[in-house]
């Protein structure tokens, strides 16, 4: 299920209003107290939302021309290592 949610987010990123839609989503998740709000990245997420709201800083893709998503099965014991190797 989480991979489906990730691809939903990617779809949002590729839409015309990608920055606005993504920041709106993150802001709503933070407001609802979701797992994003409880994560170690909550403070960073809040700072990124504020940077976008104040001056329109590209906080999502940071002007990147593309997005690469690496996926491994949670049943694969070394899946994380495999993904790290593909990154290098």
Q: What is the pLDDT of residues 1-41, one digit of tens each?
A: 577 777 777 666 665 567 787 888 899 999 999 998 999 98
DSSP string, 1-48: -HHHHHHHHHHHHHSTTHHHHHHHHHHHHHHHT-HHHHSTTHHHHHHH
- In which domain, by residue range, is 58 found? 2-87
Q: How confident is the model at residue 87 (pLDDT cuts 50, 70, 90)?
A: low
pLDDT for 46:
94
Overall number of domains in the chain: 1
Q: What is the pLDDT of residues 44-62, one digit of tens each?
A: 999 999 998 999 888 877 7
Contact between 51 and 57 under an 8 Å Cβ cutoff? The reply is: yes
Rounded-to-integer distance, Cα 43 and Cα 36, Å: 10
Give the distance, in angstroms, between the CA of residue 25 and the centroid of all CA atoms in the same chain.
Answer: 10
User: What does pTM read for this prediction?
Assistant: 0.56
């Amino acid at each position: 299920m989480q991979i489906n949610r990730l691809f939903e987010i990617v779809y949002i990123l590729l839409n015309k209003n990608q920055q606005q839609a993504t920041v709106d989503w993150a802001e709503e998740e933070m407001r609802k107290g979701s797992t994003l709000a409880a994560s170690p990245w909550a403070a960073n997420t809040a700072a990124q939302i504020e940077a976008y709201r104040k001056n329109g800083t590209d906080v999502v893709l940071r002007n990147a021309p593309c997005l690469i998503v690496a996926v491994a099965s949670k049943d694969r014991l070394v899946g994380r290592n495999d993904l790290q190797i593909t990154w290098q």
